[in-house]
Copies of this chain bind each other. A is one copy, B any other.
Amino acid sequence: MIVVMKPNSTETMIQNMVQRVEGLGLKAHVIVGTERTVIAAIGEKRDEQKEMLAACEEVEQIVPILAPYKVASLEAKPEPTVVEIGKFAAGGPNIGIIAGPCSVESEEQIMESARRVRDAGATALRGGAFKPRTSPYAFQGMKEEGLKLLAAARDETGLAVVTEVMSPDQVELVANYADVLQIGARNMQNYNLLAAVGATRKAVLLKRGPAATIDEFLLAAEYILDKGNTQVMLCERGIRTFEAHTRFTLPLATVPYLHEKTHLPVIIDPSHGTGHANLVSPMCAAAVAVGCDGLIIEVHPDPSKALSDGAQSLTPQVFADAVVQCRKVATALDRQLH
């Protein structure tokens, strides 16, 4: 890391900082510039060393040189990670499509959803059984009953099941039924939960928190990887900005940026990312064009009766049309969409 000393730092202050840097086990290299002295600290580790130096009064700023994540980095593993479950594949040339309702609401609803998204080209089924809802007065999900319905839908359709887990003590239960454990955006930095899913060998879909930087996002993934679970998919679902005409702002540049930094597959969620059904289809095509490894899309047999997220849910027909457009783009750009 680079330690930038304040202007007018004395020789003594600089020597003290050199000693402090060396006391942290680093090699100090002093560079006297025309207006500032900087000290390059060689041998940087990814821990709290930076913070300790930043607390010294004579320091103007600390500039880390290394990214703070390790296992997630492309330097650690240059070839892309591919997550495969049955016909679902995300990573490398493969684009996997996860679709289904926001919440599991009934046997009929989830079965019809599963059949129709499979027929349209999805290879995984989404559906919430444990629902994190902003209001305590909103529908909170069917819980284990919902998990059972998801498993039944998988048995019939062959779709992989993706569903959210909200708490460490639910991990075992959810893992009994699901193929992919989803960590919601609100829980991206729920570290006890990350460690718990890291201890399983189920694939994980980790959603980016709406205020998370990319480094924070990758460090959240690192909590999971650090426990030995290598099957992590990163999901961009929009960030919170001043824009109010969409539910969140969906930054598709995340996809090529992450591909330069990490081997993990990147999934786009245009449903939460926009919040309006009529914006979802064009953003699906754009996500494929920008190089995403998968999509997760809310589809409901009748959005106007959905118990949650109706405004952003596609009808099965609109979803089928969107998949057709995505496939055209994928084909044009030599990507594979099942």
Complex Cα distance A251/B288, Å?
A: 15
Complex Cα distance A222/B286, Å?
A: 29
* Oligomer: number of copies: 4
Q: Are B285 and A51 in contact (CB under 8 A)?
A: no
Which residues of chain A (204-232) have a CB below 8 Å from chain B?
209-211, 213-216, 219, 222-223, 226
Please pick, from B52, B287, B329, the residue contacting A329 in the complex, using a CB distance under 8 A: B329
Complex Cα distance A226/B135, Å?
A: 11
Give the total of A residues in contact with B, Cβ under 8 Å.
112
CB distance from A290 to the nearest CB of B (A): 4
Contact with B along A265-294 (1 / 0, CB 8 A): 000000001101111001101111111000
Complex Cα distance A166/B194, Å?
A: 12
State the A residues within 8 Å of B (CB). 2, 4, 7, 20, 29, 31-36, 38, 40, 42-48, 51-56, 63, 65-66, 68-70, 75, 132-139, 166-170, 186-187, 189-193, 209-211, 213-216, 219, 222-223, 226, 239-246, 249-253, 255-257, 260, 273-274, 276-279, 282-283, 285-291, 303-311, 313, 325, 328-329, 331-333
